[in-house]
């Protein structure tokens, strides 16, 4: 059992993890004719919990209850990974990234994120508000506008040869490159 936990604690190579994730698509299609995606689960939760007569939430959400169990499993898996599979080793940040972030005064890392950026005190600053609140809103808006998130489009949509998913994934990647290389340095220098 201890050897199994040690195996789970190690990073898996791309040629193992990638096919495992990729096999979810045919498994979902063959077993239940279901599409893989996470962002739709928020709509299902709202449809189940909000008694309002909003047309967007008026559909048979119970047919998609499997998706809620899937998201619950992801949440539970995250808790198990953070507690049972947590590594006592400090986070390893690539030296080139450390040097670049140090230019902006970011030198401490707490858990998986830079401590100087993601904390409650920083939320009350302009930089923190832009990164946490505005960034979160833009991710939510973009997901809704694109008709799905990166996992739904890149994993499910492209594997089922959907042209809109290819376009959305290319736009996600382009937006990420522009954000990481041009906009984020501007925000960090505030």
Does the residue 93 lie in any domain? Answer: no
Phi first, then psi: give them for residue 63, nearest 5 degrees.
-70, -20
Q: What is the DSSP letter of 87?
A: -
If asked whether residues 1 and 46 sit together in one domain, one would say: yes
If asked whether residues 73 and 134 sit together in one domain, one would say: no
If asked whether residues 12 and 59 sit together in one domain, one would say: yes
Mean pLDDT over 97-118 rounds to 82
If asked whether residues 132 and 190 sit together in one domain, one would say: yes
pLDDT digits (tens, 9 = 90+) for 132-182: 889 889 888 888 888 888 888 888 888 888 999 999 999 999 999 999 999
Structure tokens at 55: 């047309």
Query: Rounded to an integer, what distance in angstroms lies between the CA atom of residue 36 and that of residue 148?
Result: 10
If asked whether residues 81 and 4 sit together in one domain, one would say: yes
Does the residue 155 lie in any domain? Answer: yes
User: What pLDDT is stored for residue 50 in this prediction?
Assistant: 79
Q: How many CB atoms lie within 10 A of CB 48?
A: 14
Q: How many CB atoms lie within 10 A of CB 131?
A: 19
Domain that holds residue 134: 119-190
pTM score, whole prediction: 0.73
User: With pLDDT > 70 as the criterion, what percentage of the chain qualifies?
Assistant: 98
Picking from 39, 68, 86, the residue at the C-terminal end of a domain is 86
Does the residue 103 lie in any domain? Answer: no
Q: What is the DSSP letter of 117?
A: T
């Amino acid at each position: 059992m201890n050897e199994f936990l040690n195996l789970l604690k190690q990073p898996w190579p791309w040629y193992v993890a990638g096919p495992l994730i990729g096999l979810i698509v045919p498994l979902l299609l063959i077993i239940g004719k279901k599409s893989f995606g996470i962002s739709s689960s928020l709509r299902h939760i709202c449809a189940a919990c909000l008694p309002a007569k909003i047309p967007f939430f008026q559909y048979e959400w119970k047919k998609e209850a499997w998706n809620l169990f899937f998201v619950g499993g992801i949440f539970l898996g995250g808790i198990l990974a953070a507690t049972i599979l947590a590594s006592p080793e400090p986070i390893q940040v690539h030296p080139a990234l450390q040097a670049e972030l140090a230019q902006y005064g970011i030198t401490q890392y707490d858990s998986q994120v830079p401590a100087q950026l993601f904390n409650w005190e920083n939320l009350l600053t302009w930089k923190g508000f832009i990164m946490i609140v505005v960034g979160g809103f833009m991710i939510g808006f973009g997901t809704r506008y694109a008709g799905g998130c990166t996992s739904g489009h890149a994993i499910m949509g492209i594997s089922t040869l959907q042209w809109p998913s290819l376009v959305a994934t290319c736009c996600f990647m382009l937006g990420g490159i522009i954000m990481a290389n041009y906009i984020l340095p501007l925000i960090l220098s505030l």
